[in-house]
Amino acid sequence: MDVLVPTLLMFFPIIVLAFLIRWVRLIKNNSDIQVEQNKKIISLLDKAENEK
């Protein structure tokens, strides 16, 4: 038990860093998807405007 707590505390920053990197990666992927969706929406709106 004496070794377990310090070992966990030693790996805690590494685990937190891994979760932060994963979180940032997910945000970037989702923002890329959002940009593509926005481009499609704009093109559809332009097309609908030109048909009037």
User: What was the pLDDT predicted at 51?
Assistant: 86
The backbone torsions φ and ψ at residue 2, rounded to the nearest 5 degrees and listed phi first, read: -65, -30
Residue 6 has, within 13 A of its CA and on its CB side, a CA count of: 3
Report whether pLDDT(1) > 80: no
pLDDT tens per residue, range 10-44:
999 999 999 999 999 999 999 999 999 999 999 99
User: What was the pLDDT predicted at 52?
Assistant: 74
